[in-house]
């Protein structure tokens, strides 16, 4: 029996992962990562880094972050506590869905993860207070190749579900899309 049900999103490469919990009166086990299964869904590299994050305030927006090649990264995003609205924007050069976004609600109860391949900017909005998330990255953080898009960019037109409560100065200073932005060439 597979511990994952993998579904395609409307954007090629983005996958929604439904984890199957196995439990009894003591609690449950939920597999967060399996190289054999997720490699068939597009995860092509070893995990290079795992991050655990905490966001204290409902309505907070974080993102839209990415890394340029040769350190472009895939991410597997899981919400461990609380709830988020997780967003990925296709920034792959020559992609037919360039500039389009897709969002998935991740909660501690729904056992859904979001598999985001290389060539996407990623961000989220906290739907509850005290959110904890786990990120698996295919590349380590590399500040010399990091990039970002402004999560409030009208050209992206991301429909954040809640009123904005907080956003970092760094994320507010990410550039708006312009015709000069050609994305990432994988």
Residues forming the active site: 65, 135
Cα end-to-end span (Å), the chain: 34
Tell me which residue of 40, 19, 49 sits closest to 31, measured CA to CA: 19
The answer to whether residues 159 and 100 touch, using CB atoms and an 8 Å cutoff, is no
Q: What CA–CA distance (Å, rounded) separates 146 from 34?
A: 27
């Amino acid at each position: 029996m597979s511990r994952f049900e993998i579904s395609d999103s409307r954007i090629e490469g983005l996958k929604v992962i439904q984890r199957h919990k196995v439990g009894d009166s003591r609690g449950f086990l939920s597999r967060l990562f399996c190289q054999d299964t997720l490699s068939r869904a597009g995860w092509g590299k070893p995990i290079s880094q795992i991050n655990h994050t905490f966001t204290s305030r409902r309505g907070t927006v974080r993102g839209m972050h990415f890394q340029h090649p040769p350190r472009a990264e895939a991410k597997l995003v899981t919400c461990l506590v609380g709830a988020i609205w997780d967003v990925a924007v296709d920034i792959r050069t020559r992609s037919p869905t360039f500039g389009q976004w897709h969002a998935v609600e991740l909660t501690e109860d729904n056992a859904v993860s979001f598999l985001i391949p290389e060539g996407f900017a990623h961000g989220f909005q906290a739907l509850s207070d005290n959110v904890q998330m786990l990120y698996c990255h295919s590349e380590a953080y590399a500040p010399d190749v990091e990039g970002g898009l402004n999560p409030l960019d009208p050209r992206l037109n991301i429909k954040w579900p809640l009123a904005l409560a907080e956003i970092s100065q760094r994320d507010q200073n990410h550039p708006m899309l312009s015709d000069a932005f050609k994305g990432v060439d994988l």
